[in-house]
Structure 1
Amino acid sequence: MRCRLISAVMVIAFTASAAPAAHAQWAVYDGANHVENVLIAARTLQQIDNQITSLANQAQMLVNQGRNLASLPLSTLSTLQSTISQTTALLAQAQNIAYSVQSVEQQYQQAYTSVSSGMSDSTLFNQAQTRWQYSVGGFEDALKLQARVVGNIPSDSSAMSQLVSASQTSTGALQAAQAGNQLLALQSRQLSDIQAELAANGRATALQQARDAATEAESDAQYQHFSQHDVYVSGAVSMFGSSGN
Structure 2
Amino acid sequence: MKLATIYRANLTAAAVALALAMSPAQALVVYDPTNYASNVLQASRALAQINNQIRSLQNEAASLINDTKNLASLPFSSLAALQQQVRQTQSLLGQAQRLAYDVTQIEQAFSTRYGNISLSSSDADLVTGARERWATSVDAFEDALKVQAGAVGNIDGSRTAMNDLLSASQSASGALQAAQAGNQLVALQSQQLSDITAMLAAQGRAQAIEAARSATAEEEGRVRFQRFMARSDR
> TM-score scaled to structure 2, two decimals?
0.82
Structure 2 counterpart of 1:138, which letter?
A: A
Letter of the 1:28 counterpart: L
Deviation at 1:192, TM superposition (A): 1.2
SS of alignment partner, residue 46 of structure 2:
helix
* 2:227 counterpart of 1:225: yes
- Give the residue type in structure 2 aligned to 1:84: V
Q: Which amino acid aligns with 1:29?
A: V
1:103 aligns with one of 105, 123, 127: 105
Runs of 5+ in structure 1 lacking a partner?
A: 1-23, 233-245
Q: Structure 2 unaligned runs (5+)?
A: 1-18
Matches within 5 A, 1:185-224: 185-224=187-226
Asked if 1:51 corresponds to 2:62, the answer is no
2:184 aligned to 182, 187, 201, which one?
182
Specify the SS of the correspondent of 2:231: coil
| Equivalent residue number for residue 28 of structure 2 | 28
Name 1:132's counterpart in structure 2: 134
Contact 1:67 1:172 in 2 (8 A): yes
Q: Which structure has the larger Rg?
A: 2
* Distance (whole Å) between structure 2 residues aligned to residue 31 and residue 45 of structure 1: 24
More helix, by proportion: 2
Moved more, 26-35 or 182-191: 26-35
- Is residue 89–residue 147 contact of structure 2 (8 Å, CA) maintained in 1? yes
Contact 1:118 1:225 in 2 (8 A): no
Secondary structure at 1:85 match in 2: helix
**1:110-189 mapped onto 2 (5 Å cutoff):** 110-189=112-191
Question: Is 143-152 or 206-215 further displaced after alignment?
Answer: 206-215
Q: TM-score, normalised by structure 1?
A: 0.79
Contact 2:119–2:223 (Cα < 8 Å) also in 1 = yes
User: What's the counterpart of residue 72 of structure 2?
Assistant: 70
Percentage of identical aligned residues:
51
What does residue range 10-21 of structure 1 map to in structure 2 within 5 Å?
Answer: none
Q: Which residue of 1 aligns with 2:8?
A: none
